[in-house]
Structure 1
């Protein structure tokens, strides 16, 4: 019997008669650490979101993302890069301990441990305090993760000339290409080159674009006969006159679209 609480009966003396609630306390029991959802908390969320949105839109207007051309699987010299939010993982794979024979560590083990630790942070540091100094484990893990992502992203982006890269792979709008189908060399091009380089010299899976070439007509004629890079020799089987017409046609298209 407990004084003032009446008589209690239990079937097993090893079981405590005092039950503790498993429901967590309401925030109202922590003075100074709660606020009304409307309008106090929601207004703060809206203000923070608005500042971020305005800043992000201003950044995109001041420095637009450079665009490149369509992907070409036949271009072995092209080095693909991930989007900016994955650059830190791309940089991580450059280190010896996360590449080569240890590439699984870089693509699975280390990112898995990092993101797993962030998911476990609330459970590792579940104290009632909400101030940063009262949550050292959670705050420390968050700062470490944020600093790592920022540093790796900076290291990856700092070694890439984004403007030059975009200019080298600049797409050519179809509407800007003017092909003179009445040119005497168009028929030669259509029979000898269009199957690989496209009907408007735009290129294709098996051959690069012929737009934006800085070669002279003589150099183009020489390439058509002797080949260059991945293009083998003796592709062109026409006469010398047709070769001259072909070179003049390709040169005229580039000159017309450069103006």
Structure 2
């Protein structure tokens, strides 16, 4: 068969192979605008938005951690029997729940496993149990009621737990360590002393007027039994009496001796039983009120 010469201006049309099937995939999600609540497809629309928001929050959080690293806490003191352990704020409701009789003692499994397991298990199964297409909360009475009840219960238990903790601190006269350290830092800055370092005990003030009659009365009093002959004590259970005049006046010290403070009972009658008189106790309070940090520094320089 003779071939005609090829014309470069000729229009060429290619015919597809009929053996190859053409597949068309429709990636356009369904339109949910007709449904109540005007929702959208979870995959990929909603999920992509959540991922984007999560990525932005994570980057911001990492920048915050890098720019402001978390400070180390204070060294644990196993001898501190006055310390009240507290969980993080988001577990305060469980901490308070375990204080009730029906969730402690012989019902400890109910408080630690059954009740939290039902609560968290119901939260995990909520998407599978509540499969309705309605998204308005007032049209979903069961799910909305359970959620509101959970929020109220968690909020109530959290507030009660914190109030009970504050009450225990006030009754026992305990100052939380982070507040105490902060006050010590401010006092050191105001006095022009170097800031105390966590884990390193601050330098004790010197004893003022050690040759005074008040020191001799102190050695005969019940104060020396707990605070020692050098007034050092055993912090934090037994605070040092060096520099005690920076915190209390003579009248306040007399009130502490007569009525006690925190976990320390009244010492007035016990001191009388030790052979002290009212005049001796008055001299003792006056001598303790003169135990000040600045006065001790002046004595050492002199």
TM-score under structure 2 normalisation?
A: 0.41
TM-score under structure 1 normalisation?
A: 0.46
Larger gyration radius, structure 1 or structure 2: 2
